[in-house]
Structure formats: structure tokens, C-alpha cells
Amino acid sequence: MTDSNNTGGSTKAQVEGQVRAPKGIGPAVGAVFLMATSSIGPGFLTQTSVFTVQMGAAFAFAILLSILVDIAIQLNVWRVLGISGLRANELGNKVLPGLGWVMAVLVFAGGAVFNIGNIAGTGLGTNAMFGIDARIGGGISAAIAIFIFLSRRAGVALDRIVVALGAIMILLMLYVAIVSQPPVGEALRQTVMPDNVDFLVITTLIGGTVGGYITFAGVHRLIDSGHAGKENLKQITTSSVLGIVVIGVMRVLLFLAVLGVVSTGVALSKDNTAAHAFQVAAGDFGLRAFGLVLWAAGLSSVIGASYTSVSFITTQQTQERTRNVMTVAFVAVCAVLYLVLGTAPQTLLIFAGAFNGLILPIGFAVVMWAAWRRKDLLGNYKYPVWLLVIGALVLVLTVFMGVRSIAGLSALWA
């Protein structure tokens, strides 16, 4: 990790292994890009598809609530960390000595769970593309990720590829959402008047979008680029909201695409729900194209999760070579655990989001405490009362949902 000026001064962002914005894209967009690629991974795609099958149109309410909660969380997290110029673990240690390292352990563990799910997702992608065993595909993909971390210039090329695949993903979602002819009217009704509400589902969505390491990936990128401090408040705020909006659009399109298939009475596969939905809607082309996007999303998420997780257990003074070795080891261990566990990839992806949703209240509580009681860390910035109130309400909600979801997590392995 590079040195950064806590007051938001200019720094040279040269972070090995970090998913960086392609040349020509500003740091704010780069931060949004890092956040989006970390969030829109295989877990995101799988969770949305599985829950659409389970809940039908009622899932629209869960999506709406998760988007609103995500915006409230990111507005506060990006503002506090962005203005202070402190990474989350640094802020935690300022609030209470040693707390940042406790957060680091939790985020690192959550990142490992998520990374196992990400590797599993690459396996699902290769299975959709070529029909090979998901575990073999996951192992090969992990080896590719390790190669990327060992290559000094592969990051720039990968960024450009993922940007292109992200555009393809959105277009593909839009195409399938149109051809599957979903019951849009029913979805709109249940957005505000749902037939049923599942707190585990909502917690999992929030955990998969802003839980664990994902919460801090984008704003850490912004800090690394030297765009922290009160003078960059507008940029910080815009980036935090834009990231969630992009993710929200993707989730709505995928929801409508799968809902259109489900509403026809087609029984989708339980092993690879999303891939089957796209195959039904768009034929063999849909299956292969979705497999490619899912694999790319998984690989980019492996990179994002690995970099951010390792950044929590290292400091700015850690040598680049040491960080790279630790990151490669992190990917390798996650790959071995995935292969040894032998658990269905889809179950791992659902569990990853739920687990990170349980971590979220802890990190968010530290951020809100700093906003409320530690104005000295924000350069005596006058924190908006409305944002503080919204953040406090969302914190209570995330704690409540986290407690409610604990029992539900065990059911995933039943």
C-alpha cells in the first residue's frame, strides 16, 4: 500500500494488485469502478437469481430496501473515511486502540469466505461456458488470479477487459429482461406492498453489496489516489452514491430477467440458477455469454477481495513484495479451501453474503461513532445531523437484521 496524506494531500497511487481505473478515468470513477467490480461478482449474480426464484415478485421489496440501506451506509462510510483520510482499520485504532486490528481480523476472515465464493463463481462460469466440472474451473481460475498478482503490468490490461465485460453484462441483462417479458406491474406493486418479507434475504443482499471488505474498497481507492479531505467532499459524495446506483441497476435488470423466466412456470436448476435462467431466455448464446461474464466477474472479485483483505492486515510501510507474496498466499489458501470443502458453489456464494452482512454492523458502528464523537478526526468538519440520524437508524437496522439472520445461516448448510 502506498503512503497517503491523511489531510487529503496529493499522493502517487501505485498500489500493486489493486483493481485500478484504466488510464484516462479519473480517481472518483476509479473508486466507483473498484467498488462495483468488488460487489458485482458471482455472489451478486447468484444471490439475486436464487432469491428471485424463491420469492418471486416479492423480492422487489428486498431489493428496494437493500438499495436504500446501501446508500445510507456508503454515504456515511465514504464521507467519514474520505474526509479523515484514514482507512477503516486506521480509523478504528484512532477510535479505540486495537479496535482497528480487531476489524482487520474480521474483514480478513470475511474476505476469505467471500473469496472462496468468488472462486466457486469462476467455476460456475467455466461450467456454463464449457461444461467442465465447477471445481476444476475454479482451480484453474485461481491459478490465473495468482499469475495476475505476480505480473506487474497485468492489472491495467485486466481493468480494461473488465470495463468492457461490465458493459456487456449490462447489455445482456437488459436484453434478457426484455425478451423474458417479466410481469413489471406485479413487481412494482410488490416493491411497496410485498406478500412476504425475509430478513435473511435482505441481510444477504446488503452483505453481498456493501458487507465486509466491499464497504471500504472504493473509498480506500479514493484515499490512495490522494483525493481525501473536506475539499473533495462533492467528489466523495457523488462517488459513493453512483457506485450503489450502478449496482442497483444491475440487480433490478437481473431480477426482471429471471422473474420473466420464473413467471412462465419453468423450473430452474438449483445448481446454477442464473445460468439456466439465461439459457431459457436467450438459448445457447445466453448460456455461453453469461458464463463468460460470470467468470470475469468472479476473477475481478477475487482480485478485489484479495487486495482489500490483505490491505487490512498490512500497513502503508509494508514492502510491495511482502504484500504481493501475502496476496498470492491468500488466493492459494482460499482455492485449496474451496477444493477441500467440496460444498456446492451456490451455497458458498449465498453464505458469503450473509456472513459479510454480519460483519457490517461492527465496521459501520466505528464509522458512526467517529462521525458523532470524534470530530477531531474529521478536521472539525461539522457532520450533517440528517446524515448522522439516518446512519444511526440504519445501524440499528443492520444489527437487528444481523441477529435475525444468525439462525438462518445454519439452515444454508442443512
Give me the DSSP letters along 127-154.
HHHH---HHHHHHHHHHHHHHHHH-SSH
Parse the chain into domains and list their residue ranges: 25-410
Residue 199 CA to its chain's centroid (Å): 19
Residue 22 has pLDDT above 60, yes or no: no
User: Residue 344 gets which letter from DSSP?
Assistant: -
Residue 100 has pLDDT above 50, yes or no: yes
On average, the pLDDT of the chain sits at 78
pLDDT for position 406:
62
User: Residue 21 gets which letter from DSSP?
Assistant: P
Residue appearing with cell numbers 406493486? 189
Contact 147, 327 (CB under 8 A): no
Residue appearing with cell numbers 457506485? 243
In CATH, the number for domain 25-410 is 1.20.1740.10
184-198, 212-226, 274-288, 385-399: the lowest-pLDDT one: 212-226
Name the nearest CA neighbour of 240 among 224, 212, 221, 255.
Answer: 221
Please report how many Cα atoms fall inside a 13 Å half-sphere around the Cα of residue 244, on the Cβ side: 25
Q: What CA–CA distance (Å, rounded) separates 402 from 413? A: 18
21-25, 257-261, 368-372: the lowest-pLDDT one: 21-25
- The pTM of the full predicted model, rounded to 2 decimals, is 0.78
Torsion sign (Cα): 24, 312, 150, 36: negative
Helix (H, G, I), strand (E, B) or coil at 254: helix
Residue 162 has pLDDT above 80, yes or no: no
Q: What CA–CA distance (Å, rounded) separates 78 from 122? A: 30
Please report how many Cα atoms fall inside a 13 Å half-sphere around the Cα of residue 117, on the Cβ side: 30
Q: How confident is the model at residue 389 (pLDDT cuts 50, 70, 90)?
A: very high
Q: What CA–CA distance (Å, rounded) separates 254 from 244? A: 15
**pLDDT (tens digit, 9 = 90+) per residue, 281-328?**
888 888 887 888 788 788 878 877 887 888 788 766 677 678 778 888
SS (H, E, C) 158-184: HHHHHHHHHHHHHHHHHHHHHHCCCCH
Residue 118 CA to its chain's centroid (Å): 10
Torsion sign (Cα): 334, 339, 343, 348: positive
70: cell is 446501501
